[in-house]
Amino acid sequence: MLIVRLASTGLTAYEVFVLLQNRPLTPLLHIDGHSIEVTVEDFDADGRPEIAVLYHCGGHSRGFVLFRIDPAGSVSRIPGAELGSDWPLIDWHDFDGDGQLEIRTRDRNWSKVPIMDYVEKVYGWKGTSVQLLSTKDVTPSEGDTRADP
């Protein structure tokens, strides 16, 4: 049994706790941000869920942290899976059809100002860590039509 609990510790502060069977309630993460979303999914297709924490930490900034639960019930951060984006796009999907979820971020490409476009990065599993799989330049019309404020 797995229970993930959120607690607000102020106007823009959150604590994430995890409760596993036969273990005490354990603090997992403290976030200073505007909002937080916690998802429990099997990202690496090993039959055990991972805990994904997505948070909005600034005007356009988002953060993402992924935790593994090992067979003994210990929870740890997955190497390479602490990601950020300065444009509010971080999502996950099986983008390449291999049965494992990949994580996509989009950042503004500041080298091309005043014509703003974005750099999209896709991260995936390499052994027991998450690593960058691909990078490409994209325009706002490619999948994300939000205008830059």
pLDDT tens per residue, range 78-120: 998 888 888 768 889 998 898 889 999 988 877 766 666 888 9
Give me the pLDDT at residue 131, please: 92
Give me the pLDDT at residue 134, please: 93
Task: Compute the distance between CA of residue 80 and CA of residue 131 in angstroms, rounded to an integer.
Answer: 6
DSSP per-residue string spanning 40-92? EE-TTSSSS-EEEEEEE-SSS-EEEEEEEE-TTS-EEEEEEEEEEESSS-EEE
DSSP label at 148? P
Kindly report the number of other CB atoms within 10 A of residue 30's CB atom. 11
pLDDT tens per residue, range 27-66: 888 888 778 888 888 888 888 888 888 888 776 788 889 9
pTM over 0.85: no
Average pLDDT rounded to a whole number, residues 66-73: 85
Is 146 a residue whose pLDDT tops 70?
no
Higher pLDDT residue, 71 or 92?
92
